Amino acid sequence: MSATLPCSGLMSMGHNCLSQHAVSRPRIGLGSRLHLRNRCPHQLAACHPRQRRLHALKKGRDDLGAVWVQNTDEVHLLLRTDPDVHKSDVSFQVHPNRLTLTVKGDPLLSGDLPEAVNIDGCFWFLEDTTDGRMIHVTLEKQIMGHESWPSPFEPETEPDATITHRTFFELAVGGEPLGKVVFGLFGNALPKTVENFRALCAGDKGQTASGIPLHYKGCIFHRVIPSFMAQSGDFTKGNGTGGESIYGSKFEDEGFPFRHTAAGQLSMANSGPNTNGSQFFITFGAQPHLDRKHMVFGQVESGMEYVQQLEKLGSSSGSVSEIITITNCGEVPQNV
């Protein structure tokens, strides 16, 4: 995507390159690190990551006095507890995607984490502060380098998946018509991202500074990887190193309310945080390693059979066996 795609674990220079697999990032110094006191044994059983956030049990958020902070490598949770609580009263269990914390047998926190953690880098200790006795929990992120976690204490809310706009692509393979794909776009949740895609489909925002139409018409799918995704949107260079948004070269991440959970989702390609342009991809299945790194902003409403045909033309390297072209595109009228 010069925008992010699988580059065998590496991001090509100048490319929005989606990675198929999570890649460990070098650790970034944290300054004065907390003392690793009261490390607890961890249960190592695998836990299927469901998409709920960590939630407080038994006590309300105000009663817990719960606060949290993150940096690029760690998340810290501070929870108020009773002054007579000792370390022997606390039970702490962490899986890669789930945490349970009990005090005197009473569940204080239990639930699924927003992202995976390195269990060997997770620990807790008791701390006496001016606000009383606190349980301080440190969680080491499995993928470092980004302050990407949502608040683990926020109540679970469903993002607004109302379809506010529809757009279409007419596709051709090897110069022969393939079929029409219609997308539904989530404009209430991600209005800026949706407007960018809508306008590039409609071609109603003029030209780039260099005189190239801001339009997907004639654009190719330059990268297709079976079981992963099909990537397009580079209307300036056609190889994953170009493209431009209607707002300028790049625009910032608007948010990550949706996960990559199924085939047919429409998501923005990028080359890192806040580098969205015009490139996008369509998923061929769930891609959880892209969650909170790429913005899902729509879905295929019809024509999924043609998307599946694209998958057959791809390869593990991303190269395609035949040229796939967006021969026409636009916005579907609201009354259709």
Q: What is the pLDDT of residues 41-96, one digit of tens each?
A: 222 222 222 333 444 333 333 456 677 888 889 999 888 888 899 999 999 999 88
Beta bridge partners of 177: 172
Give the tokens for residue 319: 């190269």
Beta bridge partners of 137: 77, 124
Out of 183, 228, 258, 280, the active site residue is 228
- List Cβ neighbours of 166 (8 Å cut-off, separation of 6 or more): 182, 183, 184, 185, 301, 331, 332, 334, 336
pLDDT, the chain, mean = 81
- pLDDT category of residue 145 using cuts at 50, 70 and 90: confident
Catalytic annotation present for 223: yes
Out of 190, 200, 214, 290, the active site residue is 290
Give the tokens for residue 36: 């690793």
Q: What is the pLDDT of residues 302-323, one digit of tens each?
A: 999 999 999 999 999 999 999 9
- The SS3 of residue 139 is strand
Out of 98, 260, 292, 294, the active site residue is 294
- The SS3 of residue 76 is strand
Catalytic annotation present for 290: yes
Catalytic annotation present for 215: no
DSSP sequence for 196-240 = HHHHHHHT-S-B-TTS-BS--TT-BEEEEETTTEEEE--TTTSSS
Out of 223, 279, 284, 292, the active site residue is 223
Catalytic annotation present for 61: no
Q: Where do runs of H (alpha helix) occur along the chain?
A: 61-64, 191-202, 304-311
Catalytic annotation present for 228: yes
Q: What is the pLDDT of residues 150-182, one digit of tens each?
A: 777 655 568 899 999 999 999 999 999 999 999
Cα 73 to Cα 117: distance, rounded to the nearest angstrom: 10
φ, ψ (nearest 5 deg) of residue 132: 110, -170
Out of 20, 70, 196, 270, the active site residue is 270
| C-alpha torsion angle, residues 244, 164, 18, 248 (rounded to 10) | 20
Cα 299 to Cα 267: distance, rounded to the nearest angstrom: 9
221-225 and 263-268 beta bridge pairing = unpaired
Cα 193 to Cα 268: distance, rounded to the nearest angstrom: 8
What single letter denotes the amino acid at residue 158? E
The candidate with the shortest Cα–Cα distance to 2, out of 277, 292, 187, 307, is 277
Q: What is the pLDDT of residues 238-265, one digit of tens each?
A: 999 999 999 999 999 998 899 899 999 9
Out of 231, 279, 287, 299, the active site residue is 231
Burial label for 210, CB within 10 Å (0-12, 13-18, 19+), is exposed
Catalytic annotation present for 259: no
Cα 19 to Cα 23: distance, rounded to the nearest angstrom: 8
Contact 280, 265 (CB under 8 A): no
